[in-house]
Amino acid sequence: MLPLLRLAGDSQEHRLREGIERLATEFGLTDEERSQMLPSGTAPTFDNRVGWARGYLKQAGLLESPKRGVFRVTTRGIELLSKNPSRIDNATLEQFPEFLAFKNRRSEEKAAGQSPSSSAAESLDVTPEELFSQAYQRLRINLETELLEQVKSVSPAFFERLVIDLLVAMGYGGSRQDAGRAIGRSGDGGIDGIIKEDKLGLDVIYLQAKRWESTVGRPEIQKFAGALQGQRASKGVFITTSGFSREAADYAEIISSKIILINGDQLAKLMVDHNVGVSPISSYEIKRIDFDYFEGENV
């Protein structure tokens, strides 16, 4: 918050994007650091933190927005900078009644279960949006872990049907009925099923589904590749509840046939993404101001 207030200390109008770029340069951030995203993937972490810093400074009356999309230092902000503070945190902002009112309002919302805030979020070590995203990720990881354990307990036949359900949910195979008839059609020991790549069936994908605990090694991938060649096929998907050895992954990369390897962790993620074996129980929307809506206010 202090670097952002110092940037505005020239009493000129600044846009948030300008503030983000200038602070990134001041901090010497790398491209990799700039591209780091929130756990939700909705925005760059650094951009989000600068946005929240601006918001907190505005709540304390240190910044103001004279018009859409810009901020400017206030007289109060100039006075604070003149004291040459070493940092600005919540303890600094709490001297201003507007910020205390803002904080108390958030505390009331938290007590009512309306806000996923915490002391970490309140101090801007992480922003409230980051905290929300982190909580979601913890729930997601727990769900994926439990889901994979459930998948490992099903029968091999059910697992093959599960794989088909997932691929259909991802947009492959046309209808579920068409895909279901494809299971085991080839009778080849190295192929568990065949599914259309698109609704018209212009190409097909051959499947191998292994409900295993042990790691899938290169010999299994070689066997599957040989089965593809026997069918004059060029595309295959090998799915397992366990994982693949480095040799298996390297072999799949160098052969002419295109074989996609999906391990247990990836399988669980895809099932959650496409609502296979899981069902939503609640949802939350994070909203922001639509500045375009107010575009014509000064016209």
Give the mean model confidence (pLDDT) for residues 11-33: 95
Backbone angles phi and psi of 217, in degrees to 5: -100, 180
252 contacts 219 by C-beta, under 8 angstroms:
no
User: How far apart are the C-alpha atoms of 234 and 238, rounded to whole Å?
Assistant: 13
pLDDT at 187 over 50: no
User: How far apart are the C-alpha atoms of 60 and 93, rounded to whole Å?
Assistant: 6
55 contacts 103 by C-beta, under 8 angstroms:
no
Sheet holding 14-15, edge to edge: 14-15, 70-73, 63-64
**What pLDDT score does 264 carry?**
95
Give the mean model confidence (pLDDT) for residues 187-198: 66
115 to each of 110, 149, 167, how far by Cα in Å?
Answer: 5, 32, 37
User: How far apart are the C-alpha atoms of 207 and 225, rounded to whole Å?
Assistant: 11
**What pLDDT score does 105 carry?**
73
List the chain domain ranges. Answer: 2-139, 156-262
Two tokens, residue 293: 């809506």
Q: Which long-range contacts (CB under 8 A, 24 or more apart) does 100-106 make?
A: 102/59, 102/60
240 contacts 119 by C-beta, under 8 angstroms:
no
**What pLDDT score does 188 carry?**
46
56 contacts 50 by C-beta, under 8 angstroms:
no
Task: Please tell me the class of the 156-262 domain.
Answer: alpha beta
User: How far apart are the C-alpha atoms of 95 and 274, rounded to whole Å?
Assistant: 49
Average pLDDT, the chain: 84
**What pLDDT score does 204 carry?**
81
**What pLDDT score does 238 carry?**
95
**What pLDDT score does 201 carry?**
67
Which tens digit of pLDDT belongs to each residue from 228-268?
Answer: 888 888 889 999 999 999 999 999 999 988 999 999 999 99
Which tens digit of pLDDT belongs to each residue from 201-234?
Answer: 677 888 888 888 899 999 999 999 988 888 888 8
What is the pTM (predicted TM-score) of this model?
0.63
Chain centre distance of CA 247: 30
User: How far apart are the C-alpha atoms of 134 and 141, rounded to whole Å?
Assistant: 10
Give the mean model confidence (pLDDT) for residues 78-82: 97
